[in-house]
Structure 1
Amino acid sequence: MKLRTLLVPAVALALLSGCTMGGGAAAPVTLDPAAKPTGEITVWSWDVAATALTRLGAEFEKANPGTTINVVDVGYDNAYDKLSVGFQAGSGLPDLVTIETDRAPGYINEFPTGIADLTPVLGDKRDDFDPFKWSAQSDKDGALRVAPWDSGTVGLFYRSDYFADAGIDPADIATWDDLVAAGETIKEKTGHTLMSLDVATGGGFQMLLQQQGQGLFNDAGEITIGSPESVEALTLLQTINEKGLLKNVTGWDGRVTSAKDGDSAVTPEAVWWIGTLLGDAPELSGTYGVTELPAFAPGGVRTSNSGGSGLAIPTQAKNPNLAAAFLDYALANTDNQASMMVNEGLFPSYLPALETEFFSEPQDYFGGQKVYELFAEQTANIPPITFTTDNAEASDIVANAVVAAVLNGADPATVLNDAAQQIATATGRTIAE
């Protein structure tokens, strides 16, 4: 699940203020996996993830009499504001929280005593989880702080009816140039734009960057957004808008509404978008297909990553052992992880779940296509990138560069180099040569 937004400036400053212990951080918590589950916990999540946890919470309560799992959908647009304030204050957070993979390093490093070590609970199951997710959500000493939940393998969701009306075979789309050309034909013949994006939050720029094997920083922690790959990704977005093929929407709700209204022909997005379509647009069943992401060059990588998330236990939790038991029940159980794919479209990071029968079955919503096989096959091709503690701040700066180039017509290379300088000034990091 990857539903991106921007931290408001005040919260971003709180997260990156240098108060790395948090304001009044709670004492360290040592989890006891043998403790009998009892009492109640509160869990924060959003969207289909909250739906999944609510369903599993009810099942957990039946299996463990005397327990209560209260799941609160805090809404994505508010989630990180609440988390940052709670960690900074050392109070106000629940027993279990959802944190996305690219956000995890910031919270882990800025609040090192704020999140419990999950190794006592999941450490012996490490090989059963996506290794990238495990590494990205662990601290510098290798302690797991955020448990892997869902993966964010990216494909191209497309309106099969629009493609058919325009006389275009999705199998012929191999590169982004192919897709832009198809978009012009689709608009001419159907009146629909090619894609709907929230440009203010980056418009998919980082997804396009990772497809080319780059993040905002390299392995040495140097700033890399002035690279030729970055310029190519931003130029692509600018071209799509200049050709009248982009509908700019606002926030998560804007993206969902645009999909329900059928504004655009394609959505380049992670596998978790399936859950959103199933939950928010069931009436569109039979009108969608999925194919690989177009490559930047023939034979190039045809996937990327758009987030994924995990669950963490704040050290201020009132009932950390019950939180740990529920976390283990939800995320380290083959049947439960597979059920979240079946019911909510959350693609497991727990590898044994991918071996269940469901992942090779045709899906009615997508006209009988075996869409999960496609995502499972592409997961191994996702280029790895480096996240740093400065990713959140850098993302805000980069999003402004995307707006300048895509909506205001600024030169992509110029705005990206300017953004690199801003990030260097704000973080003290070096710009890669």
Structure 2
Amino acid sequence: MNKCTKVILSLTSVIILIFAASCSKNQSARDDGKALHGNIEVVTDTEHGPQLKLAADKFNEIHKKSKVDVIVVKDTDNNVRSILDNYRYHSDILTVSDSCMKHVLSAYSDKILKMTNSVNSYKNNLLGDKVSNDTMKGSLYALPWDTYPKAIVYRKDIFYQEGVDVNNIKTWSDYIEVGRKIKKNTGGTFMGNVSDCNDNIFLLLANQLGTSYFNESGKLGFKSQKWARVMELAKIFYGEDLIKDFDSKSALIDGLNENKVLSFIADPTYIKLLMNTYPKDNYKWSIMKLPAFEPGGNRDASLGGTNLVINKNTKQANLAQAFINFALTDNKLQLDLLNQYGRFPVYTTAYNFVDFNKRISYFNDRVWDLFARVEEGSFGINYTKNFPQIRDKISKVLTGINIKNQNLKNIEENIEIHL
């Protein structure tokens, strides 16, 4: 057999193997489509309803004999027991926020289906801190759905008019000096913030310093030096009226009109809302990382997220798991969810997609790449089973009005009283 014949036979063998693998893969997809049949329902909140509806529609297109429906309710976190018991809604899957996950596991783990062995093929590609939050006693009870890395969106036109070079803003002190100047010269609100669970300015700053309400040992950490720094910074912002709290994301975005708000703390969902609300204002806005507490310090922070839980009462466990696997790992879906809703993926493989790293013309910047780097550089938050209860008590004390009008010692004493 001559050399040419050997080469031809080798190439033929490779082609046959590729074709066989392709056929096997396609056959597997067809077999999965046949195997997956029945109906399941996902119960979620208003924020995540459209996102999961898109995922369900894409899944239903592939698996013709199955159907995933999405039920949107006002609140899932405070109704987990009734949802798991199918008291008001039939649920095969429900969503639970990061901050409530440990509490839910401690109270209702016997009503939740374990997923430990069903996600081994991609578990290591999910954000580790999120997976840890879904784990109890070595068993995985949920999977993370999204995450909320934080950055600052600012009026680049006004910053330019005021002679501000954002490359010189390295620390919060630098940012405050810029804020004092711009506030004095324009009369606008320098920084906007939404005062909800995912945008709590105090917890956000604490996360930047690597702490939260609870330290790594699970003990309350308000008497720490890190929290003292958080309070001192907040005192400046609120005391000098450099920051304004809004009740909702939409209220903040509406406040951007007529130069009323000149910068704001944002996660990826704000980016899409901004572009959709003011499509012609692309010349106005730019984005940068959070300033650090000290030169060379951490500029990354991430706060918030929700998780997918399978109801142990489901009669369609395989279908529920298949949908979750698809929703978290389908490459095209990750980009569709990001570009349509600003839903930031927990599947870190997506951070390396070519389209993920393209410039967004509205900002003329690689915005999604910036958020990916922020997410990867952020500290995890130590949520505990008591976190929701502590958060609700603390939120009554740590308010902008209290920070502005009371001294920090009184606020710390009030925190201790409420706890």
Pairing 1:58–2:57 present: yes
Pairing 1:258–2:255 present: yes
Match of 1:288? 285
Match of 1:225? 222
| Deviation larger for 174-183 or 263-272 | 263-272
Q: 1:55 to 1:86 in 2, by over 3 A?
A: closer
> Any conservation in 1 of the 2:41–2:71 contact (CA below 8 Å)?
yes
Q: 1:194 to 1:404 in 2, by over 3 A?
A: closer
| Equivalent position amino acid for 2:48 in 1 | A
> Any conservation in 2 of the 1:154–1:306 contact (CA below 8 Å)?
yes
- Specify the SS of the correspondent of 1:105: helix
Task: After TM superposition, give the deviation of residue 280 of structure 1 in Å.
Answer: 4.6
Task: After TM superposition, give the deviation of residue 34 of structure 1 in Å.
Answer: 10
Q: Distance in 2 between matches of 1:112 and 1:305?
A: 26
- Specify the SS of the correspondent of 2:303: strand
Gaps of 5+ in 1: 1-32, 424-433
Aligned length: 387
After superposition, residues 372-411 of structure 1 pair within 5 angstroms as 372-403=368-399, 406=402, 409-411=405-407
Task: After TM superposition, give the deviation of residue 264 of structure 1 in Å.
Answer: 1.6
Query: Percent identity over the alignment?
Result: 22
> Any conservation in 1 of the 2:34–2:65 contact (CA below 8 Å)?
no
| Equivalent position amino acid for 2:173 in 1 | D
Task: After TM superposition, give the deviation of residue 421 of structure 1 in Å.
Answer: 4.9
After superposition, residues 15-414 of structure 1 pair within 5 angstroms as 36-46=35-45, 49-75=48-74, 78-83=75-80, 85-87=82-84, 92=89, 94-139=91-136, 141-199=137-195, 203-259=200-256, 263-317=260-314, 319-366=316-363, 368-403=364-399, 406=402, 409-414=405-410
Per-residue CA shift, 1:349-373, capped at 9, x if unaligned?
A: 112111110222110121x111122
Per-residue CA shift, 1:328-367, capped at 9, x if unaligned?
A: 111022332233223322221112111110222110121x
> Any conservation in 2 of the 1:138–1:145 contact (CA below 8 Å)?
yes
Match of residue 416, structure 1, among 408, 412, 415: 412
> Any conservation in 1 of the 2:234–2:403 contact (CA below 8 Å)?
no
- Specify the SS of the correspondent of 2:399: helix
Task: After TM superposition, give the deviation of residue 233 of structure 1 in Å.
Answer: 1.3
Q: 1:286 to 1:148 in 2, by over 3 A?
A: farther
> Any conservation in 1 of the 2:193–2:245 contact (CA below 8 Å)?
yes
> Any conservation in 2 of the 1:93–1:314 contact (CA below 8 Å)?
no
Q: Distance in 1 between matches of 2:411 and 2:271?
A: 34
| Equivalent position amino acid for 1:58 in 2 | D
Q: 1:328 to 1:286 in 2, by over 3 A?
A: farther
Q: 1:96 to 1:284 in 2, by over 3 A?
A: farther
Per-residue CA shift, 1:129-156, capped at 9, x if unaligned?
A: 11111111112x2222221222322221
Q: Distance in 1 between matches of 2:154 and 2:389?
A: 32
Per-residue CA shift, 1:209-261, capped at 9, x if unaligned?
A: 01011111122221102222212212322321221222232244433433466
Q: Distance in 1 between matches of 2:246 and 2:126?
A: 35
Task: After TM superposition, give the deviation of residue 376 of structure 1 in Å.
Answer: 2.2
Q: Distance in 1 between matches of 2:218 and 2:397?
A: 20
- Specify the SS of the correspondent of 1:124: coil
> Any conservation in 2 of the 1:260–1:280 contact (CA below 8 Å)?
no
Q: 1:72 to 1:390 in 2, by over 3 A?
A: same
| Deviation larger for 193-202 or 177-186 | 193-202
- Specify the SS of the correspondent of 1:68: strand
| Deviation larger for 385-394 or 284-293 | 284-293
Q: 1:274 to 1:252 in 2, by over 3 A?
A: closer
| Equivalent position amino acid for 2:63 in 1 | N
| Equivalent position amino acid for 1:177 in 2 | S
- Specify the SS of the correspondent of 1:123: coil
Q: Distance in 2 between matches of 1:276 and 1:82?
A: 28
Structure having the higher Rg: 2
> Any conservation in 1 of the 2:148–2:302 contact (CA below 8 Å)?
yes
| Deviation larger for 399-408 or 239-248 | 399-408
Q: Distance in 2 between matches of 1:46 and 1:258?
A: 25
Q: Distance in 2 between matches of 1:99 and 1:283?
A: 36
Task: After TM superposition, give the deviation of residue 40 of structure 1 in Å.
Answer: 2.2
